[in-house]
Structure 1
Amino acid sequence: MLRGTILALLGLTQAVELTKDSWDEATSGKTVFVKFFAPWCGHCKKMKPDWDKLMKEFEGSSEVLIADVDCTAGGKAKCDEVGVRGFPTLKYGNPDDLQDYTGGRSYSEISKFAKGLGPQCGPANKDLCDDAKKKLIDEYMAMESSKRETMIKEKETEVEKLESDFKTFVEGLQKQYQEASDKKDKDVEAVKSSGLGLLKSVHAYSKKAKAEL
């Protein structure tokens, strides 16, 4: 309380740092723009002043929440849940269906993006949905909770498999690259060891000797 009062008097903002436990209450009814970070991350440290400024800009907004999640502390479970794999990772949108932010990261760019955020299509804002999404919402609302949970698990498993397959593919490419690189180095060394250096030395010596005649 005292810290918040002092910050307010100094015209500073108190960072909104979320954890898995505080997420639902803090984000309820809002569109979010969240930075997932690690304290040791250099890029995170560089971005912090602009992100803090953005949080100050939207402090008290009834529609948009700008927040932090520390992936090394109380927010780790939330970071794992939303698939954070690098730092800083920015995500936005419906708190229950975050999207990856891939835009620029200067203050002007993130501020402009945040100003374009607002209420989005969802169960609490059906009027913002197109007919197809309204129909889906109605179908999902009519389902038993257990069926929705089963569907969520199935789709998340599908996503995990796609990500796992991609990781395996990339690791395969990396292995092929390393093997090709090692073979190249070995073959180049073999050519050089076959007398290339001596050949070049003799050739240079011969040219120099002829030039001196």
Structure 2
Amino acid sequence: MKPDWDSLGAKFKDSPKVVIADVDCTAAGKSLCDKSGVRGYPTIKYYNPPDEEGEDYKGGRDLPALIKFVETELGPGCSVDAKENCSAEQLEKLDEYIKMDATERSTKLESMKTAMAEAEEAHNELLKKLQATFKESQDALEKLKEDSAPTIKLLKAATPSGKAAPAKDEM
């Protein structure tokens, strides 16, 4: 993917609307990656102004798919300063939010961010519990296999080689 990503960056390097960048999440960019919710690599995030949270890119990772996405989806998004970029549905919601006073809008935004953070934390806690349960089950299975192996080997060895094993009933 790296060669296609680099080619994409080269194609749009002079674009006034699009910036293609890489961030090393294991080094200096770690705090940015943590803030952006990057959990695996490679992760592609995109931001359309005025979006500061970013969205996960879910499309194809070959050069033609990346180019098509940049050309059709990236650029300034719907905002109070760019209403021409809004769909009818977005305009309706945007107008509703514009009519709110700043405190109400800020409170709603913070409430939604808090709810998302709490849901993410609960999800991560559940994931930890599931991983612990899986590990316990895996360890128990491995122990059973290890403990049973000598007996299974001897049971198989107890059948004389000239005698066939009992026939299996099949349905």
| TM-score bracket for this pair, using the shorter chain length | 0.7 to 0.9
CA 1:184–1:100 in 2, change beyond 3 Å: closer, same or farther? same
Residue 157 in 1 paired to residue 114 in 2? Answer: yes
Aligned letter for 2:43?
A: T
Per the alignment, residue 13 of structure 2 pairs with 59
Per the alignment, residue 178 of structure 1 pairs with 135
In structure 2, list runs of 5 or more residues that go unmatched: 164-171
Tell me the SS of whatever aligns to 2:40. Answer: coil
Aligned letter for 1:84?
A: V
Q: Which has the higher helix share?
A: 1
**Whole-Å separation in 1 of the counterparts to 2:31 and 2:148:** 54
Per the alignment, residue 41 of structure 2 pairs with 87
**Whole-Å separation in 2 of the counterparts to 1:52 and 1:196:** 56
Query: Percent same amino acid among aligned pairs?
Result: 37
> What are the equivalent positions in structure 2 for 1:1-213 lying under 5 Å apart?
47=2, 49-71=3-25, 72-73=27-28, 75-95=29-49, 96=51, 97-117=53-73, 118-193=75-150, 195-203=151-159, 206-208=160-162
Tell me the SS of whatever aligns to 1:160. Answer: helix
Q: Write the deviation string for residues 115-155 of structure 1: whole angstroms up to 9, x where unpaired.
A: 21244322222123233322322333343434333322221
TM-score (norm 2): 0.75
**Whole-Å separation in 1 of the counterparts to 2:21 and 2:80:** 23
* RCO higher in structure (CA 8 A, sep ≥6): 1
Aligned letter for 1:69?
A: V
**Whole-Å separation in 2 of the counterparts to 1:132 and 1:109:** 27
Alignment RMSD, CA only? 2.7
**Whole-Å separation in 1 of the counterparts to 2:67 and 2:42:** 17
Q: 1:62 deviation in Å?
A: 3.0
